[in-house]
Amino acid sequence: MLDVKYLFLRLGQAVLVLLLAFTAAFVLLSLIPGDGVTARFADPALGLSAEQIADIREQTGADAPALNRYLLTLVGFLTGNFGFSVQTGAAVSTIVAAALPSTAVLALSGFLTALVFAVTIAVLATYGPTSGPLRWVRRVLDSTPSLFISIPVFWLGILLIQVFSFQLGLVSVVEPGSAEALVLPTLTVAVPLSAPIAQVLIRSITEVKTSPFVKVTQAKGASEPWILVHAVARNAILPGLTIIGLIFGELVAGAVVTETVFGRNGIGQITAQAVTHRDNPILLAVVVIATFGYVLINLIVDLLYPVIDVRLRGTRTATPTQVGTVEDTAAEPVTGSFAGVATARGTTPAPIAGEEEA
C-alpha cells in the first residue's frame, strides 16, 4: 500500500523541519538579552563578585561566538548529547527523560478523552432531538465547543482540584496513585482540546447530512444510525483528522499549564521553569521534541487520509486495479462523494443499497 518514495520524501521533509526549528529556536534564544549563565551566577542569592561571574562565564564557554556555539550544540544534538542545564548543571537528557513519559501518558489520555468528548458532542448536536422536551440538549451541545474553547486551562484545573479533591475528597493531589494522578489532568487537557474537533465535526456532519448521496441513501430506506455510521461518519471524519494534526501544538501548550497546576513533572513543567531561568539547552531540547511530535503526528495523519478516503489513494497507491475504479468514480462530480462513501470497502455503490433493502 505505502509508497516508499513518498515516505522517504516525507521523512526528508521532517528532518528539514527539525533542523529549521532548531536553528530558529537557537537564533531567537540567542537574541534574548542576557543568558542563563549570568542569570544563574549573578543571582544575588549567591553574592558573587563581577570578576567571579566573568571567570565562570569564560569556563562555561558562554562568551564564545554564536556560530561556534550553534555548531557545537548542533553536533551535540546529532550525537544525542543535549548538553547540560544552565540552571542546575544536570544533563538535559536526564531531565527530559524523566519528564517525557509523564507528558506522553497525559497527552495520550487527554487526546483520547478529547476524542470521546468531541464525537459525543458532535453526534448529539447533529442527531439530537429536534423536538420534544429534550430539544434543548441539541441547542446546548451545539454551543458547547465555543464554551469549552473559552475556558482558561489553569482555571479549569484549579477548579477541578478544588471540587473533586479538596471538597469532595474523591482524588488526592498529594502523592496520588498513577491512575488517580491522571484523572483530573486528563479532564483539564481534554476539555479545551475537544472543542475544535467537535466544532469541525459538527460542521462537517451537518454538511454531509445535506449531501445528495445521503438523501439518495435515505430514499433507499436506510435508517438514521446506519447512515451516520456508514455514510456520514466516513466523510465527516476527514476535516476532523486534519484538525487533529493541527491541535498537537495546543496539546503542548495545555501541558505547560496543566502540569504546573497539578505539579506533574513533565515537558510542560520543565519548559515553564526553563523559560524563567533562561535555560536555553532545555528549551532547545523541548523545541526539538515538540517539533518532532508535531511532524510525527502530521505524518501519521497524512498517511491515514488515503486509508480512510479512497479518493485520495489515486495519487500515490500502488494497486492499479483499485486506482482505476476509484479515480473513475471520483472523477464524476455529482456522484463523487456518494461513490466515495459507498465504495469504501472497494465495492461498487449498488450492493450497498441492495444490502439495505435485504
Partner 1 sequence: MTDLRPPASASTIDRRSILSLGLGLGTLITLSACTPTDDAPLTEGTPVQGGVLKYFEPQTWTLLYPPSVGFYPNGGIMNNISARLLWQDPETLELHPWLATELPQVNADATEYTFTIRNGVTYSDGTPLTPENVAKNFDLFGRGDEARTLPVSEQISNYARSEVLDESRVRFHFSAPTPGFAQAVSTMNAGLLSDSTLDLDAEGFGPGGALKIHTCGPFRITAETIGTKLSVRAREDYDWAPPHLTHQGRPYLDGIDYLVNNEYSVRIGAVLSGQADGVRDVQAPDEARVEEQGLRLYAKPTNGINNGINFRFRHPLLSDIRVRRALIAAIDREEVVDKLFTPNFPLATGVVAKGAMGYKDQSGSWEHNPAEANRLLDDAGWSRRNAEGYRVKDGQVLALVVNTALPQPRSNEVQTLIQQQLRRVGVRLAINPGDQSKQTLDALSLDTIQIYHSMVARAEFDNLRSNYASVNRDVFLNGTGRDDAEDSTVDPEIDRLLDELATEPVAAKRQRAAERFQDYLVEKAYVLPFFEEPQVFSFRRRVHGFETEPVGRPSFYNTWLAGQ
Q: Could you please report the per-residue DSSP string of 143-189?
A: HHHHHHHHS-HHHHHHHHIIIIIIIS-SS-SSS--TTHHHHHHHHHH
Nearest approach in angstroms of CB 73 to partner 1 is: 17
Q: Which is nearer to partner 1, 188 or 217 (CB)?
A: 188
Q: Which is nearer to partner 1, 45 or 334 (CB)?
A: 45
Q: Which is nearer to partner 1, 36 or 349 (CB)?
A: 36
Q: Which is nearer to partner 1, 89 or 320 (CB)?
A: 89
Nearest approach in angstroms of CB 96 to partner 1 is: 10
Residue with cell 543535549: 82
Nearest approach in angstroms of CB 113 to partner 1 is: 21
Q: Could you please report the per-residue DSSP string of 217-286?
A: HHHTT--HHHIIIIIIHHHHHHHHHHHHHHTHHHHHHHHHHHHHHHT--SHHHHHHHHHHTT-HHHHHHH
User: Residue type at 282?
Assistant: I
Contacts of residue 176, defined as CB under 8 A and 6 or more positions apart, other chains included, come to none
Nearest approach in angstroms of CB 283 to partner 1 is: 12
What is the distance between the alpha carbons of residues 139 and 143, in angstroms, rounded to a whole number? 7
Nearest approach in angstroms of CB 68 to partner 1 is: 19
Burial class for 269, CB neighbours closer than 10 Å (0-12, 13-18, 19+)? buried
Which residues form the interface with partner 1 (CB under 8 A)?
33-34, 36, 38-39, 41-50, 52, 55-56, 59-60, 84-85, 87-91, 94-95, 98-99, 152, 154-155, 157-159, 161-162, 165-167, 169, 172-175, 260-265, 269-270, 272-273, 275-278
Nearest approach in angstroms of CB 39 to partner 1 is: 4
Q: Which three cell numbers stand for residue 93?
A: 537528557
Classify the C-alpha dihedral 105-111-116-121 as positive or negative: positive
Q: Which is nearer to partner 1, 39 or 216 (CB)?
A: 39
What is the distance between the alpha carbons of residues 251 and 269, in angstroms, rounded to a whole number? 13
Q: Which is nearer to partner 1, 60 or 335 (CB)?
A: 60
Q: Which is nearer to partner 1, 262 or 294 (CB)?
A: 262
Nearest approach in angstroms of CB 182 to partner 1 is: 14
Residue with cell 565562570: 56
